[in-house]
Amino acid sequence: MQPESETGSGRVWFVGAGPGDPDLITVKGRKLLETADTILYAGSLVDRAATLFAPAGCEIRDSKDMTLEEMTEWLIDRAGRHATVVRLQTGDPGLYGALIELTRPLTAAGIAWTVVPGVSSAMAAMAAAGETLTLPEVTQTVILTRVAGRTPMPPGEDLEALAAHQTTLCIFLSITLLHKVQQALRAAGWAEDAPILVVQKASWPGEERIVRGTLADIKQKCQAEKIASQAMIVASPALGAAGWPDLARSKLYDPAFSHRFRKATEITHD
């Protein structure tokens, strides 16, 4: 959060709209939309239903045809005329968004701004599929990443290097580069029958699609379903755990485990 405006203007709120379902926006985010004077929303990614919380008379602008400079100019102009300006972004503003690129000019202009986090599509995809990101003694690490495309990856962050950890990978913005995902996982030692999950438009009412496959066949399955945009790719050793015959038990809920809220109880066997 930035301090109060140095220019006497309004505050710009960067609100995470969540993964798609308007009901998955935070309570704080919804309250801001309900009291907003003006909203700039990412129409190419955010379900417009999220803007229906706006009050009558609120100015609503879709940013899908705007450059970064045009968005910055718009936000600065509206903050000079209104108390509550909302920039509504998909998922969480801090994950694969232009948050810092947008806030730097606001700070330079003396305009106050605040970030309201949102539910990521990574979490929504796993929820939709009934899967878990972590599992005791299987994986305790989640890597949120992407495949290099027009935006290159920094040194040491290529997918093959990250996949070598054999942990949960949530791969954003890469469905059109699924062949590169397959290449990277194979090079990192993942088996051909390793489970892969793809969820398109996770939580979007009436539009969500779930594809389950393996490293060997996931590309063909996605092609058959014509999934080529707005999809989360998940590779994880924990996928499918609900159907496993045995699982390592969580220590927190194990009766033999003590913590400050509960004393261990001895288990006897007849």
Residue range 158-175: average pLDDT? 97
> How much is the pLDDT for 270?
53
In a domain, 227, yes or no: yes
Of 25, 19, 52, the C-alpha closest to 204 is 19
| In a shared domain, residues 67 and 44 | yes
Give percent of the chain with pLDDT exceeding 70.
90
Residue range 24-41: average pLDDT? 96
Domain encompassing residue 61 = 11-116
Overall domain count for the chain: 2
Of 92, 116, 140, the residue that ends a domain is 116
pLDDT digits (tens, 9 = 90+) for 81-126: 999 999 999 999 999 999 999 999 999 999 999 999 999 999 999 9
User: What's the CATH number where 199 sits?
Assistant: 3.30.950.10
> How much is the pLDDT for 175?
96
Contact 63, 71 (CB under 8 A): yes
**Tokens read off for 94:** 């801090």
User: What's the CATH number where 23 sits?
Assistant: 3.40.1010.10
In a domain, 262, yes or no: no
| In a shared domain, residues 219 and 126 | yes
| In a shared domain, residues 75 and 146 | no
In a domain, 256, yes or no: no
Contact 146, 170 (CB under 8 A): no
Using the CB atoms, write b or e for 238-258: b if 16+ within 10 Å: bbeeeeeeeeeeeeeeeeeee
pTM: 0.88
CB-based contacts of 67: which residues, under 8 Å, 6+ apart? none
| In a shared domain, residues 233 and 144 | yes
| In a shared domain, residues 85 and 144 | no
CA distance 179 to 158: 15
CA distance 3 to 6: 8
Look-up: residue for tokens 């058959």? Answer: 224
- Give, to the nearest 10 degrees, the angle between helix 68-79 and helix 99-108: 40
| In a shared domain, residues 207 and 139 | yes
| In a shared domain, residues 56 and 85 | yes
pLDDT digits (tens, 9 = 90+) for 207-221: 999 999 999 999 999
| In a shared domain, residues 97 and 148 | no
pLDDT digits (tens, 9 = 90+) for 143-152: 999 998 888 8
CA distance 11 to 79: 6
